[in-house]
Structure formats: structure tokens, C-alpha cells
Amino acid sequence: MMKFLVLLAILAVAFGTKIFSEDHNRPAITKDLLADIQNKATTWKAGHSVRFANATIADVKVMLGTIMPGEKGHQFPAQQKTQFKLKGSIIPESFDVRENWPSCSSVTGRVRDQSNCGSCWAFGSTEAFNDRYCIATGDADTIFSPDDTNACCNGIHCMFSMGCNGGQPAGAWDWFTKTGVSTGKDNADTGNGDSCKPYSFPSCAHHVEPPEGLDSCEDLPTYKTPTCTSSCYEENYDTTYSKDKHFASSSYSVRGEENMKLEMMEKGTLSVALSVYEDFEAYTGGVYQHVSGKYLGGHAIKMIGWGVEDGTPYWLCVNSWNDTWGDNGLFKILRGSDECGIESDVVAGDV
């Protein structure tokens, strides 16, 4: 029992991205940071995105919460995939899940918003599972609930994930095989009665006059993890929670650039994680690679393809910071050199 409590304490420290008092007064994006990025003539563009235009470092850290390989508490899935049906096939120079399965593009290209909650791990896993479900079944109407994952995938059954305090996509994928995840659209869809557990928290933007459809993040609290319920939030939804669950049939890790490509070509989206530095928040386009700023924490997203831009190879990823960040919510990151750990923690599963 004592060992169990010690493990919980270690994981609590590992998951929670530590926020220092000075982080509340340090701007996330500064003129000096932008100038430094520009002076280094890198492969990407930096600027003030609406999502973080006047945010602080503390605002950013709130949304991080994934343990990276090598950090205390990190766990890989029990299984590693080593056999690929497309092994030996010609791998194209570029690939995009949205284009390869166009009937599912509304799902695979969907950009969501975790709001002021460190639930990136729940989004990066749930969305990837949702994409694969659509690709396998052709059902582009069913949207899975990151809120169900965030609230209910916890403790020993989910690699000790802790909701808005962070978690591990590998734990979520294992949970999908055992417990399943319900449907749940975005917060703006609350009250429509067309999904079980819409996301609890609204989309927002920091310290700017938010565009239509977004709240100001400063008007919202830093959210606590929702209570896990055994019933749907929506009274008008016509399916019970227990019958609304969707299950994965397996979960596994994928190692290596070639295997990541083969896996996407065969079954679609991957759950991945990266180390976030101060310059990442300023990304507005191009192929990101870290050039400036301190390490802030681990972050989970989904990966939907790859390509080459002006001679630079990249992975194509979808973030969960709404479409006012990055390139309409997406970003490209340097491929082939494990930039920011993007190739070190890759999780997927069968539908």
C-alpha cells in the first residue's frame, strides 16, 4: 500500500506541469522571442496567434500535461506493433489521412479545443481513435468524447492519468479496449441532444477581443477535471451511456519513421506527443523545429500525414488549441530526427 501511495505521489508531480509564480507575469510570446526566431532563419514562421496573442507562460503550461519518454512515470503500451501489411510497399513522398479517406475528412480534419484544461492527452487519443473508427466503418457522423476520456480514464486503469492535470495517450488507448468511450461533440453543441457527453469547457482566446464563437480565456476559470458519470450529460440524447460506448480492439506502440508511415497508410491517424518549448506557441506556418526558449512540458496531439516543404521533410499534426492557433489549428514539424520527441511516443490501436 505504501509503495502504491508513493507511486501516486511521483505521478502527481510528473503529470502536473509545474507553474511558478513568475510564469503568471511572463508573456508567452515576446518581441525578443519573435526576433530571435527570425534571426535564426529557420524553416517556419512565427507571430502572435489569436490563441496566445497576449497569454502568459502560466496560460500555456495549464494546457500541457503529458509525460514524455525518459520522464518519471512514463509508460509505453504493453504491445509494440512490428508486423505491417504494407511492408515493402512504395511509400509516397507525401500523405494526408484527410485526402486518402475523403469521406472521413470532416472527422480527421476536425480541430477541437481543450480550453483551460490539461486534457491534451485525452484529445490526442480520443480524436485518433475517432479517426480510425470512421476509416474502418465509414461512419463520419459519430464524434467521440474527449470529456468522457478526461473524466473517466484515471487511476491504475489508465496509467494514473489525472484529467485536467494531465495523462498518457497510451493509458487512454488501453482504456478504449476495456471500457470504451462515449460520443461527445464540442462545448458549443451542448443542448443539441446529438451526442452523449459534449466537452464541458468552451473554446477561448487569451487577452484579446475573441473572434465570434470564442470566449476570452480570462473570463474562464482554470478548470478542474469533470466528475466521471455513468450517464449522458444530454437529457435529449436517445442512447444510454452504457450502450453509447465504442471500443477499440487493441492498443500498441509504433516505433520508427518507416513504421509510422506504414501504419498511417494502413489504418490512419496516430496519437503522438512532443516536448513543448516557448517558441512553439508562436508558430504560424512552415515546418517547426525548436530554435528558442525554455522547455515547458509534454503535449499530446494527433498525426495525420507527412510531406516535404521547400526541401524540409515534415510530419503533419492536428493540435487541440482551436483553429486560431498555428496554421488553422494544424502544424508541420521536422520529420526524421525525432524533433522534440515527436517520433518517440507513438500510440495507436485497432478498431
Q: Report in angstroms the alpha-carbon separations of 57 from 24, 118, 327.
A: 6, 14, 21
Distance of CA 328 to the CA centre of its chain: 15
Contacts of 145 (CB under 8 A, 6+ apart): 126, 181, 182, 183, 184, 185, 195, 196, 197, 198, 199
* DSSP for residue 286: E
Q: Which of 116, 130, 154, 319 is catalytic?
A: 319
Q: Identify whether 48 is a catalytic site residue.
A: no
Q: Do the beta carbons of residue 248 and residue 172 sit within 8 Å?
A: no
Q: Identify whether 120 is a catalytic site residue.
A: yes
CA angle (145 as vertex; 244, 160 as ends), nearest 5: 105
Q: Identify whether 290 is a catalytic site residue.
A: no
DSSP one-letter string for 29-98:
S-HHHHHHHHHTT-SEEE---GGGTT-BHHHHHHT---PPTTSTT----S-B----TTTTSPPPS-EEHH
Q: Which of 165, 204, 299, 317 is catalytic?
A: 299
Q: Which of 117, 120, 232, 317 is catalytic?
A: 120
Contacts of 59 (CB under 8 A, 6+ apart): 28, 52, 116, 206, 217
DSSP one-letter string for 124-166:
HHHHHHHHHHHHHH---S--B-HHHHHHHS-BGGGTTB-GGG-
CA angle (18 as vertex; 298, 145 as ends), nearest 5: 50
CA angle (62 as vertex; 188, 126 as ends), nearest 5: 50
CA distance 254 to 81: 6
Q: Do the beta carbons of residue 15 and residue 162 sit within 8 Å?
A: yes
Q: Which helix (H) or strand (E) holds 306?
A: strand 295-309
Active site residues: 120, 299, 319
